[in-house]
């Protein structure tokens, strides 16, 4: 594997190039009603049934902001260690498009709700030295547009305004990323934090998170080059593909003596390339101005206090806490990446499981079982308290690790408590020296040749005797006792 800390360079015809990346992520805010109207935000409804006269931009309608949307954006800002602006304002971004009946999007250009912050990423989950801080430039709140469908009619496009007016957070990074891997780590971490905070469901397939990808190239250490912006990329994999493709395209242009044009591009996932979005040529002339329908947004101390106190323990803090409990950095990373996993694991600890053992078990056994069964941890077939009981039986020596796997399989296929299964099937581990000695004597007597070889120096045969004894004891013998007794008898 390549060293995650080595700088990412692209070899061109004329030497090495560095890529500079900034991301603007549009994250749909979790709320019941829209940003400025009382219409529902629920996904998948019949077309135009979740549209108020405000969303349809009927004359005389006035926007009134939804407190929850503001609260979620502020909480997100706090989770990204960002400056919260107690005074912000809404501006109109003017453009005409069929999915935007107002003729302008209400956004925040001049005075955003949230200022500078930071996201900490690990480029290699096993290595704290691969940590990198990526700056957040700002977060502002704005309206989403409606949805256009082009494939329903030969000459017409159909417009559904259900999404029109749903609240978005636009989370703008600084141009701090230098490789596709860093951009991927940033997006995954951002998604993880949003899901912990509960301000966005992070569902990229349904479009709850989309990224505009800003890419430029330069000779290492030189000034920033001209950037292009590729719009509306909806998966981590595609974002990385856009960066690779766009960096190579720019390098080719520059090495042939050309210049990069600052422009908006589109990602074509079928062809795996970006192309110019010609129709938006003069779309950058948005003629922003403060929205006269909306007064400045002022936040008081009580509001901010509630935002702060309602934040959960965040992924970094949780990972560090898990590591302090003796859990390996890799396991701690895996267990904290998704909020559902982290919650489940915390419940397992609360139910009394030993942290290190529990972490190994969840990552190896539980994840393995969930993968096989095509299930997620939300609907895991065993509860944290059931799992804690199973792990407790191993910890106190009642059953061996091998038997624990069997018991877990039974719990998965037939249900029931670990202790009940162990009891009913007589799986208890035994330290009964008499019983163990009997089996060992029988095995040694049946394998005289191997005993000779062992005594002659073939040490690796010890494992064979252990295996035979455990098999004869149906896996229930205490392995430590078996080892001790075998050593004694083999001399």
Instruction: By CB under 8 A, name the binding residues for another protein.
Output: 31-33, 37-40, 46-54, 56, 64-70, 89, 94, 96-98, 148-150, 152-153, 155-161, 266, 277, 279, 282, 285, 287, 290, 294-298
**CB of 111 vs another protein, minimal distance in Å:** 9
Among residues 354, 461, 434, the alpha carbon closest in space to that of 397 is found at 354
Nearer to another protein, 194 or 411 (CB): 194
CA–CA distance, 448 with 445 (Å, rounded to integer): 6
- Count of alpha carbons within 13 angstroms of residue 183, beta-carbon side: 29
Among residues 232, 87, 80, 78, the alpha carbon closest in space to that of 168 is found at 232
Among residues 359, 345, 340, 376, the alpha carbon closest in space to that of 196 is found at 340
Nearer to another protein, 298 or 375 (CB): 298
Nearer to another protein, 39 or 200 (CB): 39
**CB of 302 vs another protein, minimal distance in Å:** 13
Nearer to another protein, 37 or 76 (CB): 37
Q: Which position has the token pair 């004694």?
A: 488
**CB of 259 vs another protein, minimal distance in Å:** 24
Nearer to another protein, 271 or 372 (CB): 271
Nearer to another protein, 40 or 406 (CB): 40
Among residues 276, 110, 285, 80, the alpha carbon closest in space to that of 174 is found at 80
CA–CA distance, 425 with 392 (Å, rounded to integer): 18
Among residues 273, 166, 167, 255, the alpha carbon closest in space to that of 219 is found at 255
- CB count within 10 Å of CB 421 equals 22
User: Are 337 and 188 within 8 A, CB to CB?
Assistant: yes
**CB of 281 vs another protein, minimal distance in Å:** 11
Nearer to another protein, 157 or 262 (CB): 157
Nearer to another protein, 298 or 441 (CB): 298
Nearer to another protein, 93 or 319 (CB): 93
User: Are 469 and 439 within 8 A, CB to CB?
Assistant: yes
**CB of 268 vs another protein, minimal distance in Å:** 10
**CB of 98 vs another protein, minimal distance in Å:** 5
Backbone phi, then psi, for 221, in 5-degree steps? 90, -15
Nearer to another protein, 11 or 287 (CB): 287
Nearer to another protein, 37 or 216 (CB): 37
Q: Please, what is the Cα angle at 309 between 303 and 315, to 5 degrees? A: 130
**CB of 280 vs another protein, minimal distance in Å:** 9
User: Are 259 and 46 within 8 A, CB to CB?
Assistant: no
Q: Which position has the token pair 């089996």?
A: 439
Buried b (16+ CB within 10 A) or exposed e, 36-49: bbebbbeeeeeeee
Q: Which position has the token pair 């974002």?
A: 239
Q: For 44, which DSSP code?
A: T
User: Are 184 and 236 within 8 A, CB to CB?
Assistant: yes
Nearer to another protein, 146 or 180 (CB): 146
Backbone phi, then psi, for 71, in 5-degree steps? -60, -45
**CB of 17 vs another protein, minimal distance in Å:** 29
Q: For 191-226, give the DSSP string.
A: HHHHHHHTS----TTTTSEEEEEEEEEESTTS----
**CB of 96 vs another protein, minimal distance in Å:** 5
CA–CA distance, 278 with 31 (Å, rounded to integer): 35
Q: What SS3 class is residue 308?
A: helix
**CB of 318 vs another protein, minimal distance in Å:** 28
**CB of 85 vs another protein, minimal distance in Å:** 14
**CB of 35 vs another protein, minimal distance in Å:** 10
CA–CA distance, 422 with 69 (Å, rounded to integer): 51
- CB count within 10 Å of CB 30 equals 19
């Amino acid at each position: 594997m390549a060293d995650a800390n080595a700088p990412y360079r692209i070899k061109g015809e004329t030497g090495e190039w560095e890529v500079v990346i900034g991301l603007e992520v549009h994250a749909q805010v979790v709320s019941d009603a829209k940003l400025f109207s009382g219409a529902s935000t629920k996904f998948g409804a019949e077309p135009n049934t979740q549209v108020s006269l405000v969303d349809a931009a009927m004359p005389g309608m006035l926007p009134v902001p939804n407190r929850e949307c503001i609260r979620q954006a502020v909480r997100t800002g706090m989770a990204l260690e960002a400056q919260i602006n107690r005074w912000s304002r809404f501006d109109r971004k003017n453009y005409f498009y069929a999915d935007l009946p107002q003729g302008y999007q209400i956004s925040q250009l001049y005075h955003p709700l949230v200022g500078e912050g930071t996201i900490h990423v690990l480029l290699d989950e096993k290595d704290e030295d691969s940590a990198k801080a990526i700056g957040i430039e700002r977060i502002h709140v704005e309206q989403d547009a409606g949805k256009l469908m082009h494939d329903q009619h030969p000459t017409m496009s159909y417009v559904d305004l259900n999404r029109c007016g749903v609240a978005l957070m636009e989370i703008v990074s600084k141009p701090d990323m230098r490789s596709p891997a860093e951009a991927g780590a940033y997006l995954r971490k951002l998604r993880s934090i949003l899901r912990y905070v509960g301000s966005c469901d992070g569902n990229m397939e349904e479009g709850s998170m989309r990224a505009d990808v800003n890419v430029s190239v330069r000779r290492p250490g030189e000034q920033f080059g001209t950037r292009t912006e590729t719009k509306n990329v909806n998966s981590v994999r595609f974002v990385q593909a856009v960066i690779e493709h766009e960096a190579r395209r720019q390098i080719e242009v520059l090495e042939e003596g050309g210049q990069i044009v600052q422009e908006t591009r589109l990602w074509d996932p079928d062809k795996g390339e970006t192309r110019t979005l010609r129709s938006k040529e003069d779309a950058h002339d948005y003629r922003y101005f403060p929205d006269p329908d909306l007064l400045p947004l002022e936040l008081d101390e009580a509001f901010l206090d509630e935002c702060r106190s309602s934040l959960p323990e965040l992924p970094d803090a949780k990972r560090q806490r898990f590591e302090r409990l003796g859990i390996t950095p890799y396991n701690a990373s895996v267990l904290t990446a998704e909020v559902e996993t982290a919650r489940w694991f915390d419940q397992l600890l609360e139910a009394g499981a030993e942290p290190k053992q529990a972490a190994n078990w969840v990552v190896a056994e539980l994840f393995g079982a969930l993968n096989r069964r095509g299930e997620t941890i939300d609907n895991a077939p065993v509860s944290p308290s059931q799992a804690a009981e199973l792990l407790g039986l191993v910890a106190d020596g009642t059953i061996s690790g091998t038997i624990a796997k069997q018991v877990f399989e039974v719990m998965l296929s037939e249900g029931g408590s670990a202790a009940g299964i162990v009891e009913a099937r007589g799986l208890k581990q035994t330290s009964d020296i008499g019983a163990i000695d009997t089996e060992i004597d029988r095995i040694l007597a049946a394998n005289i040749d191997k005993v000779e070889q062992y005594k002659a120096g073939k040490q690796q045969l010890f494992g064979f005797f252990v295996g035979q004894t455990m098999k004869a004891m149906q896996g229930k013998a205490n392995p430590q006792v078996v080892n001790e007794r075998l050593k004694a008898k083999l001399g």
